[in-house]
Amino acid sequence: MRNRFHEKIVLVTGAAGNLGRAYSAAFAAEGAAVGLIDIDGEAAEAVAAKIAATGARAVGFGGDITDDSAMEALIGNCIETLGGVDILVNNAAIFDNLASYVGEGLRAPSLGTRVSTDHWRRVFEVNVFAAVTLARLCRPSMIERGGGVIVNQCSSSAWSTVGAYGVSKLAQRGVTLCLAQELAADNIRVVGIAPGLIGASQMTEELMAQKPGYKEMSHFVLDNQLIKRFANVEDLLPMVLLLSSDDGSFITGQTILVDGGFVKNIG
């Protein structure tokens, strides 16, 4: 096991969710102290307690990342509790109803005018604007500590751009480049990781049944990937750790696809 994040402090948003949990544990396993932020504070604390039981430093924090004043207080609290921040992982997001894609193909203009402007606004608030707010709040501590890394969790949907979710992820690719240009002078790299569909292989028949259309959609993705297996969160960990560590020290402004060739194949 490498120890690339020894003495590093990492904040992960959406840390109680599928990917956030795994990312937080992976950073901790390589020596980081981790602050786990989620709107579900109890769940964040429970995940943090599990990670802390492995001997790592992990603390859970509850808060809505779209609430600017709450975030100002929360990031202040994270910095005070953990001692600063070196790496921010903007992972939290909300989705459209994926089932709506089914039968229309991922390139169909399926969820544009048929969802409300309030829906678009909320998706952009969580998936795009909050990442900028958190970058702004973390920047002074990163500068004080000699630099840092911001990792924006994107999605292959940024290329298929279906619905508010896909468009928000496309906007996030732009935010990654914009912040990379601005923050390079502060020795802060800003990078994105864009997974394809994750976790379908772990879905039981029972869970699949609760999510109508999910099975069909996951097979659409699988059929169009060049690598013919479902992706797992473990497929993402080497890339997120590389981008966040000195192994990725010459990479900034980029969003890297980890999608089994799906986007390249659908063109």
Ligand X SMILES: NC(=O)c1ccc[n+]([C@@H]2O[C@H](COP(=O)([O-])OP(=O)(O)OC[C@H]3O[C@@H](n4cnc5c(N)ncnc54)[C@H](O)[C@@H]3O)[C@@H](O)[C@H]2O)c1
91 binds ligand X per the rule CB under 6 A: yes
256 binds ligand X per the rule CB under 6 A: no
Three-class SS of residue 107?
coil
Q: Which of residues 194-253 bind ligand X (CB under 6 A)?
A: 195, 197-199
Q: How many alpha carbons fall within 13 Å on the CB side of residue 111? A: 24
* Residue count, binding to ligand X (CB under 6 A): 24
Instruction: Give yes or no: 214 in active site.
Output: no
- CB nearer ligand X, residue 144 or residue 212: 212
- CA 148 – CA 245 distance, rounded (Å): 9
- CA 89 – CA 19 distance, rounded (Å): 11
Q: Which of residues 152-171 bind ligand X (CB under 6 A)?
A: 153, 155
CB 10 to ligand X: min, Å:
16
Cα-based torsion angle of the residue sequence 196, 199, 200, 203 in order, rounded to the nearest 10 degrees: -160
Site string for ligand X, 29-68 (x = CB under 6 A): ---------xxx-----------------------xxx--
* From 23, 101, 165, 214, the catalytic residue: 165
92 binds ligand X per the rule CB under 6 A: yes
Cα-based torsion angle of the residue sequence 204, 205, 207, 213 in order, rounded to the nearest 10 degrees: 130
Out of 8, 17, 142, 180, point to the residue binding ligand X (CB under 6 A).
17
Backbone φ/ψ region at 233: left (φ over 0), alpha (ψ -120 to 50), beta: alpha
- CB nearer ligand X, residue 125 or residue 186: 125
Q: What residues act catalytically?
A: 165
